[in-house]
Structure 1
Amino acid sequence: MLGGAPTRSPAVAAGMSGPRCPQCAQPWVSPRLLPCLHSLCDPCLRRLGALEGEPGGAARPVLCPVCDAEVSLPPGGVGQLTPDCLAGSRAGAAAGCDLCADGAAAGRCLTCGVRLCPFCCRAHRRQKKTASHAVMELENTKDCSQAGKPLLCPSHPTEELRLFCEQCDQPVCQECVLGRHRQHPYDFTSNVIHRHGDALRKLLKNTQQHMDTLEDVLSQIDKMGSAVRSRAEAVATEICLFASGYVRAIEEHRDRLLKQLEDLKVQKENLLHLQKAQLQQLLLDMRTGLHSARQNQRTGFTLLCNDTTGERMGQGGEAVQVTITHKDKRDCAVKPTVCDNGDGTYYISYSPEEPGLYAVCISVKGQHVQGSPFTLKVKHKFREHQGVFHCCTFCSSGGQKAARCACGGTMPGGYQGCGHGHKGHPGCHHWSCCGQVKQSSECLGGPPSDTSSRSLLRTVAL
């Protein structure tokens, strides 16, 4: 960065011993302390700092090549930095600890250049600002021979650093006190060392107590972390078990509800089928028993009484009233018979004497049932066939030409009978008396005959 920086000669570099500059890895040349407490030799500092003698030079921030901390150089440049006398003159001293002065030096910080007892070595490695410093055992350093040399002033090489400027916070000699440190408060270095040493020892003692406490706290934190992890795993297991049981219970409840729904559906479907069958039977009975009957033929129907929910009543005892009157002949009434079956059904039978239209009124507890009054059509007495249900009069009469059939059919050749069923006369079986083709039909001709009465089942819903 800077031109004109002094370079060290091979002779000077070869004649120096002890630790080396961490920047150039060469023996120290006028080492100075940066604000971050790292030491660099003068040539390395000048390559980092402002131009020497720059007019009006202000503080310029630079990065320490050791810790990468941003530090500011004084306005006067590198020359105003505090000389590191320990690194330059007493780098290898192995007498006592420079920090506590209680124990013998067992090691030395290659970064700070201070001698350290075993306790201070450990503290030096634990502190945040010095944790990255390289500390070596004293017997491994190569400049132990300089342990007894006095500390000389870099500005006045013949003077020993016996004083300490309180204002500039650096060791000085008598010439410095009389020169640029005039009117600055100062004290003997021995007093400053003891004073700062006592403070450091007190701080180290407090630090040791806090370190023990911190170590206990860290141990407790590790234990608590293990307990938290164990508890979390146990709770996770409980959550999984609870969720599985909850899901299983929901599935079982779902299956029960679906089973109940299926049973209810089957029950309702059966009830609907039953009601449908009853309605169909009701319609059939109303079309037959309540809507049509035969003269002087006893017939009837069954009345089913249901409750308000549509279920069939299981007991009788209701007041059922039935009236059957002729619409054209007011004096022609039919007296019905009501039979209580005791199971919620009532059989009503009647025998009309006159053909025609009748009005059937049915009431329970004084209220008409649904559809009442009904219209009843009474037909004439059922006429039975007097002839033969055959396919051909010619065949039935044994081939007589004079045999006639009530159907009116004849055959060619003078035959009076029908020729149904023969070639040229396709036909079917029929009654010879009236020509009806249905065997169980009523005869349309011939005198009526008495038939036995029959009872029909009639179903009427309330």
Structure 2
Amino acid sequence: MQIDMINATVLFCGEEFTHETMKKSEMKQTSIQSNGRVSKSRAVCSVCSRMFREPKLLPCLHTFCADCIRQIEPFSAPKVDGKSTPLGAEGLAGDRNSVTVLCPECDSEVDLPSSGVDSLTTDHLALDEVFMETLLIESSVSCDLCSDGEAGQRCEVCSVNLCKFCSQAHRRQKRTSSHSIHSLEDLKAQGHLSRPVLCSVHAGQELRLFCEPCDLPVCRECAAAFHREHRCRPTHDVINHHGDRIRALVSGSLRPRLGRLEEALRRVDTSQGALQRHAKMLASEIRAFAQGYATAVEAHCSSLLRALEDLRLQRSNQLHLQRAQLLQSLADTGGAVDFAERLLTCGSEAEILDAKGVTVRRLITLLESGYDPQPDTVAHDDGSGICFLPQRCAGQVEGFPMVGVLHAKTTDPSKCVVQGEGVQQGAEGQRGEFTLICKDSAGELMGTGGDAVLVSVVHTEQKDCRVDATVVDNGDGSYAVSYLPEVSGSYSVWVCVKAQHVKVAYVHPSARGDEVPAVDVTPAVLPLQGSPFSLTVRPKFRRHHGIFHCCSFCSSKGAKEAQCGCPGTMPGISPNRERELEFDLMICCILLNISLHILFVLCVCVCVCVCACVCVCACVCVCVCV
């Protein structure tokens, strides 16, 4: 129901007081608000931030201006003939379609009446707040009728401010003589405004009746015209019943809920404060942790940079060493070749023959034992083998876990080792074998192969006697080396990785004739000198120049310390062990001879017994016959 307070036309001094007069008052309120003298209060709309104009009450009990409600975008609308009806400001103002909007205050879904926004309940309390706000803010109020004098009184029925002259005239008019007029100062002192609610249909008629079937207040003319068959009672008779119902809902259910909500809100606020304090404390811990972590990361970074610099220096030193070796070999070979060519070109026959001996020896020495690497076996270390792995765990630095390691898994020739007896001893016509194990600069085994390995086996006593060595890459950082010597004698074994000699070789101690150490070492091996290694190849058939004997025991007349007459040894057995075996064999022979003699005596005894038994039996038979 729309309740228009200024619909009634008041005649005063030949003038007509209409809705235009109220618009002047609204313009004054707008001017007051625009000057910033009105703070946010119950008289101000939360949408337009101005004083209420035609305040309407939504079902969620939030009040807004009628125009502000019309401008709200619809949340949903019913379908007409199976199609959605597009709604805008015109749709909200229409009287045929019901729409749902979201309350700007609480975001609740509220349904607007099908007849439009004007059918919403007018918030009279908001109108009272607007007037009281105006009275409290303005130092002087103009008369709403003449607009010239200063208003000092207000008609509660017409809701207009009146000056002294207009107030007297208002009381003289027949239609307004019964209106209640109050002083503005008294209204300010009261702090609230009490005025009658007028009917929106019949101008000037106060709503004094309540239609119970329709559940709405009506004036006398409405009751007579539209609610003739309804039970209409005076408002003062039904106010207690309906007021008690509202009071019961508030006091019985909602007021206790308010207490619980306030208590819950206090707890939420307390939790919010505790959360803020805890978050602040955690933020301090996080900052301290981040600073410590940043320091640890910087330390880790410095450590990685130092390790990288060490690797660079190590690789650079290796390249310098390789370069020095190549330069020295180049100088030696170049000098010898230049001298030989100059000797052959410029020397006379006598000069050539005179220098032939030393020249040939030098050339042969360079040819057999000189540093002669193949270009493909020369290390091309450009640093590409060094890489940074940012995702790999790097342990802890100052208690913080770190990631990122410097990976330099490249072979360091100074850390490589050779294992196996074949690098020191061999046999003519038998394949000798040993293993090359490549390691990195940290002494860890290489997990991959592909290194440039050069193995050369050269006879040191015979010219032009070389043995082809076969190198098999196992793919795990180890290389199986085998060779087949056809000639016995002394050999020189060159084992080079990246054109650099291997520094250490390990062989089993028994291969050298040494005693096995009492304490196990892993591996149970003994170190040899570095490359080139000395290799001794035994002949296939050993020539014996001593006296052949059946056994050392017989030739020595049973001496325990007897030795074999030839210089030969049993492969894989030490000389002391050979003497022990000879003594054991002597004991076995003695026991065997004794056993044979005992067996012979037993056989003779058995034969004698058998003969005696035969004689006895013969005698018995003769006696029986006689």
TM-score by length of 2: 0.31
If each structure's helix is expressed as a fraction of its own residues, which one has the higher value?
A: 2
Pair member with larger Rg: 1
